[in-house]
Structure formats: C-alpha cells, structure tokens
Amino acid sequence: MIPAAFDYQRADSKEQAISLLSEHGDEAKLLAGGHSLIPLMKYRLAAPGIVVDVGRIDELSYVREEGDHLAIGALTCHREIETNELVLANTGLLAAATKQVGDPQVRHRGTIGGALAHGDPASDIPSAALALRASLVIEGPSGEREVEADDFFTGFLETALEPEELLTEIRVPKLPNSTWSFQKFNRRAQDWAIVGASVLIADNQCGVGLVNMDSKPVRATALEEAIKNGASAEEASELAAEGLEPPSDLNASTEYRSHLARVLTKRGLQESGK
C-alpha cells in the first residue's frame, strides 16, 4: 500500500512549522513519528496535499520539571517517556499507559504529541492525559495558548487544534504519591484497546480516562463523582459507562464495551487501593 501523492516539506523549527501551516492551511498535515498518519495515508483514509515533517525539531523533545508539573515536549517519543526517570517518579500512570502503546518499534517512532493531536478515542495516551488532568500547550501565528485535556478532544479524530496551530508541550501535574492503574483489554499484545482505562487516585481526587468508550477520548465522570462521594470500587465502577456512547464494531458491541468498562475500572480502582 502506497499513500496518494503529496508534497513534502521539512520544518527545522516550530516557527517554520507554523509558517508552513499558515501558508497551506487545511491542505497541510503535520508528520511527527508518523505512526498514526502514515497508516491512514496508506489506507487512503487521509490524503493531505502537503505533509509538513516536524520529526526533527529536537527542541520539542524533552522532559523537564517545572514547579508543580512536568513539561513534556510534544515530540518526545513513547520509548523516552516510558523509561524517563522524572516520568516514572512523578507520573507513573503516564509511563504505564505509554508502555502499552503498540510495540517497541512503534514506541521508538511514535510521539506523545502525535498521539494526542490525532485525537483517536482508541488511543491509550489521551486516557492518561484526561485522568491526570494534563494540559496542552498550543502555538500558532497569534501566539501560545494552554488548553485543558478535557477541552482538547472535541470529536472523532478532532481536537481544539486549528489548522495553522502546533501542539508543542504537554504539562502533567507531578503526583509522586498518587496510586494508579492502566487497564487495557485487547485480543493481541500489540492491538488497539477494545476498551481501556486510566485510573488515578491522588489526594482523594479520582481521575478515570477511558479508551474506546465514545466517539472521542472521555472521562468516566459519574464514576469519578461517586468515588469522591465515598463509593466503593464495586459501586463506583457500575457507573463507568454512564452517559457514554461506546461504538459497536467487529471487536465488540456497545453493550460488551460498557461491560468491559465496568470490569476494567473496578480492577483499576482496586489496584489503586480503592
């Protein structure tokens, strides 16, 4: 399978990337590690006129401690995140979810920013970003803005990113004393989750992000609320699919996905000490 023809431009800095995006608008698509975009292009589900390769903007690959949060450059690859000591010590849930992305080859190339900007409800990383209440830094021609993960995912493969904007940084609260669990149900090790759950318990706050349980990455808000009000893992997990519209496909029906969400969040909450 070969993608449809496109023009290729490599950006060496984020300024150059933003200027190329401004110039080409909707026609352009950003390429980071390529492990979401290239398969889509090979299947001809995406056929951008111009691909702007940001994969070599090294200034966007880093993990730094900044006050109460970790700042992670959007082009930091999964392999770096799953093994980074700052991430492991301060936000273990993100490392655990990242370790479940695809396989080692995919994690060598794929980036945290790419996985988030793709906005795929079946991806593991958005669920962790939601559970952790991460925020995302976006840069465009008119400057920088910061968007909460909750407001970033707007629809199926749609995000708050405007065509001329670039996701530059992910800010994850430092929660060294949190307990957490990442649960993923799939048929083969490297597959996408049929359903997944990122569970985080910190200072009596509960964050639960779900994979593949709606048309966009979502939190299990009814479950979170129940935990806050003192419900047990067993009681709260019954509410995991409340208000959500999980898809139905060859792997699982809507009902089965709802069942999996209840089972996986219960396991996740129990593993997190609830």
Partner 1 sequence: MTINGTKVSADVEPRTLLVHFIREQASLKGTNIGCDSSSCGACTVHLNGESAKSCTVLAVQADEQEVTTIEGLADGETLHPMQEAFRDCHALQCGYCTPGMVMAAVSLLDEIPAPTELEVREGLEGNLCRCTGYHNIVKAVLQASGSKS
From 104-112, 124-132, 220-228, 232-240, span contacting partner 1 (CB under 8 A): 104-112
Q: Cβ of 51: how many Cβ atoms within 10 Å? A: 21
Nearest 5°: phi and psi at 134? -70, 160
78 and 94 Cβ atoms separated by less than 8 Å: no
Among 13, 14, 19, 38, binds partner 1 (CB under 8 A): 38
Task: Provide, rounded to whole angstroms, the least separation between the CB of residue 33 and partner 1.
Answer: 9
Give residues 59-78 in contact with partner 1 (rule: CB under 8 A): none
Give residues 130-169 in contact with partner 1 (rule: CB under 8 A): none
Among 65, 103, 234, 249, binds partner 1 (CB under 8 A): 103
| CA proximity to 74, closest of 121, 22, 17, 131 | 17
Among 102, 121, 126, 207, binds partner 1 (CB under 8 A): 102
Nearest 5°: phi and psi at 64? -130, 150
**String of DSSP letters for 203-221:** TTEEEEEEESSSSS-EE-H
Residues 6+ apart with CB under 8 A from 155: 119, 215, 216
Task: Tell me whether residue 39 or residue 155 sits nearer to partner 1 (CB atom).
Answer: 39
| CA proximity to 30, closest of 46, 184, 68 | 46
From 36-44, 206-214, 228-236, 246-254, span contacting partner 1 (CB under 8 A): 36-44
Task: Provide, rounded to whole angstroms, the least separation between the CB of residue 113 and partner 1.
Answer: 16
34 binds partner 1 (CB under 8 A): yes
Strand pairing of 28-31 and 50-53?
parallel
The residues that bridge with 73 in the sheet, in sequence order, are 169
Task: Tell me whether residue 186 or residue 215 sits nearer to partner 1 (CB atom).
Answer: 186
Task: Provide, rounded to whole angstroms, the least separation between the CB of residue 97 and partner 1.
Answer: 15
Strand pairing of 7-10 and 28-31?
unpaired
Task: Tell me whether residue 106 or residue 147 sits nearer to partner 1 (CB atom).
Answer: 106
Give the single-character DSSP code of 25: G
Give residues 197-256 in contact with partner 1 (rule: CB under 8 A): none
**H-assigned helices in 13-153:** 14-24, 37-42, 78-83, 85-90, 92-99, 104-109, 112-118, 124-131, 149-152
Task: Provide, rounded to whole angstroms, the least separation between the CB of residue 39 and partner 1.
Answer: 6
Among 3, 49, 140, 247, binds partner 1 (CB under 8 A): 3
51 binds partner 1 (CB under 8 A): yes
Coil vs helix vs strand at 171: strand
Task: Tell me whether residue 7 or residue 66 sits nearer to partner 1 (CB atom).
Answer: 7
Give residues 106-135 in contact with partner 1 (rule: CB under 8 A): 106, 108-109
Residues in the site for partner 1, rule: CB under 8 A? 1-8, 10, 31, 34-35, 38-39, 41-43, 51, 53, 55, 79, 102-106, 108-109, 189-190
